[in-house]
Amino acid sequence: MTTPLLETLFTLSNIHGASGDEIRVRQALRPMLEGHVESLRVDALGNLIALKRGTGALPLRVLVAAHMDEVSLMVVGHTSEGCLRVENCGGIDTRLLPGLEVRVGPNLLPGVIGQKAVHRLSNGAMKAPDLDRIAVDIGASNKDEAIRLAPVGTRITFATQARELGQLVAGKAFDDRAGCTLLVHLLQGPPLPYDLYGVFTVQEEVGLRGARVAGFSIEPDMAMALEGTIADDLPKPPGTDISPTSEISKGAVITVMDRSHVSAPRLVRHLTQVAEARGIPYQFKQPGIGGTDAGALHIARGGVPSAAVAVPCRYIHGPIALLHPNDLTHTHTLVRAALEQLTPDILDPNAD
């Protein structure tokens, strides 16, 4: 099971890019984009901005964003045994940390996260760990060596390598290397009727920082965020009736409203009409959950009609996410088709 989309996803998933430290992701993206776009530049915050000239048929400027950063940890101190104290950088469920293998710092030193042995807990101490009881062990002999190898501020990311898992694929940082994958292939494809700005953003996980400045500088007529979003089609806690946020293998996920943004209704209608007309499977994300770069893009300058389209991924923000290759393909197909059929009247708020 390999496709060009999956190859790109695997390559990008394996790269380490904490928020504010996305340089390795940029370095991997450049060769994928060179030759397919007119220009590539890096802005003041580190966003990688690709301009793909259109055919000139439509006088529009469209921004499509996918974020390069992933949830991570940062070294904030050192213990006398030579372990690293950490804080999270982006939203991580602390309960997932014990038992993990991680990569530490620019040299990607291997490390592990362990906790007090279950044999040596006092009765009733099975509670979930607080972050201040978590430490990363790189095998340093003492505090001085730990400080030398991983000073305060050092970034730590999950060590997972992407691979197949059943009918799905597994890897870290599918949020949002899945979105980056879609954007790479969009930019590698034929030109659209208008100029397309593909923006690989920084610092989404710490507050949509990159998207905010890119939205300002590009001043687009329309914006779209591409994401890997929550698929929680999982066994339900007993006695509850929770509708899943999205589901694996049910197609592209279209956001109507989340915590950051209400999608432009005309864009949502356009996306669904294109999906229906082309027979592309899609689903709506359950409203009110999560946020995307569209949350910053839609309020850039005087406001930008915006939408968010995502690939459903199980276990995002954890060390191993899963997605279905068909969902990646369907989302790619939908995004390209919707952009190809975009017309200025769809963006005109007075057209209704």
Partner 1 sequence: METLELLKTLTEAAGPSGFEGNVAAIIRELWMPYVDEIRTDALGNLIAVQHGNGPEPRPALMAAAHSDEIALIVKGSEDGFLQIGSLGGMDRRVLLGLAVTVHAEEPLLGVIGSRPPHVLTPAEREETLPWHKVFVDVGLPAEEVARRVRVGDTITFDRPLIELQNGCVAGKACDNRASVAALTLALAALRQREHSWDFYAVATVQEEVGCKGAVTSAYGIAPQIAIALDVTFAKQHDDSDPGAFDLNKGPTVGIGPNFHPQVVEKLKAAGDAGEIPYQIEPLPGSSGTDAWAIQVAREGIPCGLISIPARYMHQPVELLSLRDVERAGRLLCEYVAALQPTDLPRWEDEA
**320 sits near partner 1 (criterion: CB under 8 A):** yes
Burial 9-33 (b: 16+ CB within 10 A, else e): bbbbbbbbbbbbbbbbbbebbeebb
**230 sits near partner 1 (criterion: CB under 8 A):** yes
Catalytic residue among 22, 70, 204, 247: 204
CA distances from 74 to 21, 139, 174, 349 (A): 11, 18, 20, 44
**149 sits near partner 1 (criterion: CB under 8 A):** yes
- Residue 204 three-state SS: coil
Q: CB of residue 61 vs partner 1: minimum separation in angstroms?
A: 32
Size of site (CB under 8 A) for partner 1: 64
Burial 179-211 (b: 16+ CB within 10 A, else e): bbbbbbbbbbeebbbbbbbbbbbbbbbbebbbb
Backbone angles phi, psi at 263, to 5 degrees: -65, 150
163-171, 187-195, 294-302, 330-338 -> range binding partner 1 (CB under 8 A):
163-171
Q: Could you say which DSSP state residue 21 is in?
A: B
Q: CB of residue 127 vs partner 1: minimum separation in angstroms?
A: 6
Closer by beta carbon to partner 1, 49 or else 170: 170
> Rounded distance, CA 164 to CA 238, Å?
30
Closer by beta carbon to partner 1, 177 or else 185: 177
Q: Could you say which DSSP state residue 231 is in?
A: -
Closer by beta carbon to partner 1, 47 or else 260: 260
Instruction: List all residues 6 or more positions away from 131 whose beta carbon is below 8 Å from its beta carbon.
Output: 86, 87, 88, 94
204 is catalytic: yes
Site residues (CB under 8 A) for partner 1, limited to 18-47: none
Closer by beta carbon to partner 1, 200 or else 315: 315
Catalytic residue positions, numbered: 204
User: Which residues lie near partner 1 (CB under 8 A)?
Assistant: 79, 81, 83, 91-96, 98-101, 109-120, 126-129, 133, 135, 137-141, 145, 149, 160, 163-168, 170, 230, 232, 234-235, 237-238, 242, 245, 289-290, 314-320, 322
